[in-house]
Amino acid sequence: MKVNLRDRRLFGDTGLVAGREIRERFRGRLFRGVTVILFVVVAAAVVIPTIHSGSARSQRVGVVPASASLDSELHELAKRVGVSVEFVDVSDLAKGRAALDAGQLDLVVDGARKILVKSPLSASNTSDVARYVRAVSVALGAQRAFAQAGLTPEQAATVANAKPLPVESIQPVNKTPTTAEATALIGVIMIFIVLTQYLTWTLMGVMEEKASRVVEVLLATVRPTQLLAGKVIGIGAVALTQAVGLVAFALVLAAAVGSNLVHGAAPFVVASTLVWLVLGYAFYSWVYAAAGSLAERQDQVQSLALPLSAPLIFGYIVSLIGVSSGSASLLVKILAYLPPTAPFAMPTLVGFGEATWWQFMLSATLSLVCTVGVALVAARVYRTAVLRTGSRVRLRELIPTLTQ
Amino acid sequence: MPNRPTYPVIRGTCRRRLWSGYWGTHAQTSEPTPKQPYAAAVAGVLDIDSLSRRFGTVTALDKLSLCVPSGQVVGFLGPNGAGKTTTMRAIFGLTDLDAGSVRWNGVPVGPDQRRRFGYMPEERGLYPNMLVAEQIEYLGRLHGMNNAAAAAGTMRWLERLEVADRATSKVEALSHGNQQRVQLAAALVHDPEVLVLDEPLAGLDPTGIDVIGEVLVEQAHSGRCVLFSSHQLDLVEDLCESVSIIDHGRLVASGSVDELTATGARRLTVRVDGDREGAWARAIRGVTVSEVHGGEVRLVLDDSTNGDAVLDAARASGRVTEFLFERRRLSEVFREAVSR
């Protein structure tokens, strides 16, 4: 059997190495377990808010006796409390009680006498129905008191519509996050989880190849850069596949359950998240792979992983705080242009709508240029260190090689 | 069942005799016939030329030169730290060289040449969690084989090395000996022109040694260039046509096993009834007792000593049941070479 050296494969040896990584990772229990957990978490993140917002359905309010002025007043109260209401005319209180008991109504208002609810309202109950019932109770009670006090309807209306004095906070308003910001928050968390997982795999994968000495067999026929690139690309492809799968699942699920995830600027934030996941992995993977080549034991890897992950964690925490606070700080805006922190900070800016297309492109270009530089240095470190066995290779031992 | 080679099978202690028969005539006479290498189907020479390598203050290779012709099994010997592994790694570009070059058929060895080489490193290298067959196929693909050829080569070698039943096992589930066979299959899957094996027989049981030994000889006789290192000198003597011995990174002896063992002082093995310790020989001038084992006394004769005089002295001590001129053993050649 002759080896046909002209039988070049797609992407050559790098493609073969990447293919092995992809096959082995997909096959691994760890990958399958983590993927299932991530899908469950994403499903919960999409579905649970819609279940919560589902409780804000219209409250069916039976009104006895039917009166346009009472309807108007009850409607005004509903607006003030922030509850959607639907009025049903009920001829008498007994029929209202029966409809309430049958679940056809949420409450019955007898404008002259009382309000009926199905179960007692505790003081701690802050549901929409409870808040609305309290508001109606207070308002109708006050109205009756005004009438007993002999106020004219105009006077009573003036008192009832009294506006409270404005209250001004010296701190900025804590506004409700927009859908895009909420998506950015989820995106930043996803980038952190996926990067942490797959960068650790890269680190451990290189270390294990060195520890098992299989690297010596591989490098007898494959160039170090091909082996390194194949590993990085293979694990990166698995990471991207998982991330795309999660995002696609989230979007489909969001459309199915009517989540806000697919509305407004959120799809752009999703796309930005995927782009920065790829850029972030591309930047860090070389660093982690080179670090893996310095070690051949678990304890050696742990001492390497901490300093490597410091900029990653820093970028993540600063961006997370930025998203949670509702505004992008100056620090986030600066970090968005530094390759180690941009994978978190730039999607945050996109979520706030504070990044223009050219700012996005500038940051991405900076990241790509730095990635090329990092990859070149990492390849030299890898080539020199991966065949050195025994104690952990110190970076200062590699300086002569790196400066050649 | 794997296809068996057509030449005699080596088993246990009979190996020496069987090999001798295989190569021609041999040994229990005073004039052994040298082994004649088979004509190589693939002619070639691996030329290791003036390799030098220093690690800090340690000189691993000191202008080391040697030639490994195809068609024969060449043993690569030396004490620990002599530079054997560094030399083998240099062939595959796994260590930087301060000077020197490695050529295959006159062409400097580069990635394209190495794709046609097979390598078994001293510290075995396989993915522990990968299935045996998949792993060998993968390595075959890295050597330029297509899928079908890699799969066929994998099964052929697993069967030949008698581990086909473990094709779907993970490597980590295999015994040491079977892992070693799988490692050899990985080195052979692409039918390399040059086979470089670092301690391929270390830690193997006799059956494993037989199987791997047969394969090495098969490969050499099919025209491959086979270089392997070992500290098991008896096995090297059985398997190899020639050896190169290095010490402190330098070549200290090289040549065919027959040439190397034929040189030096004459050796005699004598057994005399009633004198198991060889006391009769200690008084003879020009004779040194080098070894006494089970009543068999091994003597080294200097140039001036006549064998007849030794025979007379033995007869005077008792009935002589064995009197045999022998070559030096390879272990003796080795010790002498590295102690200079």
Confidence of residue B295 (pLDDT cuts 50, 70, 90): confident
CB-nearest partner of B128 from A212, A218, A223:
A212
Please tell me which residue of chain B has the smallest CA distance to A7.
B144
In a domain, B25, yes or no: no
Worst-scoring range by mean pLDDT, A111-115, A247-251, B291-295, B314-318? A111-115
pLDDT at A313 > cutoff 90: yes
Contact by Cβ (8 Å): B169, B197: no
* A383 closest CA partner among A155, A210, A267: A210
If contacts are CB pairs under 8 Å, which of residues 273-332 in chain B contact chain A? Answer: none
Confidence of residue B28 (pLDDT cuts 50, 70, 90): very low
Concatenated DSSP letters of B242-272: EEEEEETTEEEEEEEHHHHHHSSSEEEEEEE
pLDDT at B9 > cutoff 50: no
B101 vs A96 pLDDT, higher one: B101
* Chain A residues with CB within 8 Å of chain B CB: 1-5, 7, 9, 13, 16-17, 20, 24, 209, 212-223, 387, 389
User: Rounded to 10 degrees, what is the CA torsion of A324, A328, A330, A331?
Assistant: 50
Out of B215, B245, B261, a domain closes at B261
Out of B261, B287, B314, a domain closes at B261
Instruction: Give the pLDDT confidence score for residue A263 in this predicted structure.
Output: 66
Out of B218, B233, B261, a domain closes at B261
Instruction: Report chain A residues whose CB lies below 8 A from the CB of B142.
Output: 13, 16-17, 218, 221-222
Contact by Cβ (8 Å): B242, B75: yes
Instruction: Give the pLDDT confidence score for residue A7 in this predicted structure.
Output: 43
SS3 B69: strand
- Whole-number mean pLDDT of chain A? 82
CB-nearest partner of A217 from B111, B116, B139:
B139
In a domain, B37, yes or no: no
The answer to whether the CB atoms of B111 and A4 lie below 8 A apart is no
Contact by Cβ (8 Å): A4, A214: no
What domain range is B104 assigned to? 45-261
The answer to whether the CB atoms of B123 and A214 lie below 8 A apart is no
Contact by Cβ (8 Å): B100, B51: yes
- Report residue A123 as tokens: 């003081």
Contact by Cβ (8 Å): B184, B161: yes
pLDDT at A258 > cutoff 80: no
Same domain, B154 and B272: no
The answer to whether the CB atoms of A220 and B117 lie below 8 A apart is yes
* Residue A205 Cα distances to A33, A73, A189, A301, A357, angstroms: 18, 69, 24, 11, 37
Q: How many CB atoms lie within 10 A of CB A175?
A: 9
B258's CB contacts (< 8 A; 6+ apart) are B32, B34, B35, B327
Same domain, B269 and B220: no
Same domain, B140 and B115: yes
In a domain, B277, yes or no: yes
What CATH number does residue B182 fall under? 3.40.50.300
Same domain, B268 and B255: no
Same domain, B206 and B332: no
In a domain, B84, yes or no: yes
Pick the residue of A9, A31, A217 with the most B CBs within 10 A to test the interface with B by mutation.
Answer: A217
Q: How far apart are CA A94 and CA B175, in angstroms?
A: 85
Instruction: Report chain A residues whose CB lies below 8 A from the CB of B94.
Output: 216, 219-220, 387
Instruction: Give the pLDDT confidence score for residue B8 in this predicted structure.
Output: 28
Same domain, B251 and B139: yes
Q: At what angle do helices A224-257 and A12-27 cross, to 10 degrees?
A: 50
Domains and CATH numbers, chain A: 12-40+179-402 (no CATH), 57-160 (3.40.190.10)
In a domain, B9, yes or no: no
Instruction: Report chain B residues whose CB lies below 8 A from the CB of A20.
Output: 138
The number of folded domains in chain B is 2
Same domain, B268 and B257: no
Same domain, B131 and B235: yes
In a domain, B173, yes or no: yes
pLDDT digits (tens, 9 = 90+) for B58-77: 889 999 999 999 998 999 99
Q: How many CB atoms lie within 10 A of CB A198?
A: 26
Confidence of residue A178 (pLDDT cuts 50, 70, 90): low
- Whole-number mean pLDDT of chain B? 83
Q: How far apart are CA B70 and CA B47, in angstroms?
A: 11
Please tell me which residue of chain A has the smallest CA distance to B197.
A217
Q: How far apart are CA B134 and CA A286, in angstroms?
A: 27
Same domain, B242 and B321: no
Q: How far apart are CA B171 and CA B176, in angstroms?
A: 10
CA B118 to chain centre: 16
Same domain, B149 and B292: no
The answer to whether the CB atoms of A3 and B139 lie below 8 A apart is no
% of chain A with per-residue pLDDT over 70: 88
Same domain, B270 and B256: no
Instruction: Give the pLDDT confidence score for residue A176 in this predicted structure.
Output: 56
CB-nearest partner of A1 from B129, B130, B191:
B191
Q: Which ipTM score applies to this complex?
A: 0.77
What CATH number does residue B291 fall under? 3.30.70
In a domain, B12, yes or no: no
Concatenated DSSP letters of B140-199: HHHTT--HHHHHHHHHHHHHHTT-GGGTTSBGGGS-HHHHHHHHHHHHHTT--SEEEEES
pLDDT digits (tens, 9 = 90+) for A5-54: 444 454 688 999 999 999 998 988 888 898 899 899 888 888 877 765 54
In a domain, B18, yes or no: no
Instruction: Give the pLDDT confidence score for residue B282 in this predicted structure.
Output: 87
* A259 closest CA partner among A354, A188, A319, A267: A267
Instruction: Report chain B residues whose CB lies below 8 A from the CB of A404.
Output: none
Instruction: Report chain A residues whose CB lies below 8 A from the CB of B153.
Output: 1
* B125 closest CA partner among B76, B186, B169, B84: B186
The answer to whether the CB atoms of B125 and A212 lie below 8 A apart is yes
Instruction: Give the pLDDT confidence score for residue B246 in this predicted structure.
Output: 93
Same domain, B85 and B195: yes
Confidence of residue B102 (pLDDT cuts 50, 70, 90): very high
pLDDT at B271 > cutoff 50: yes
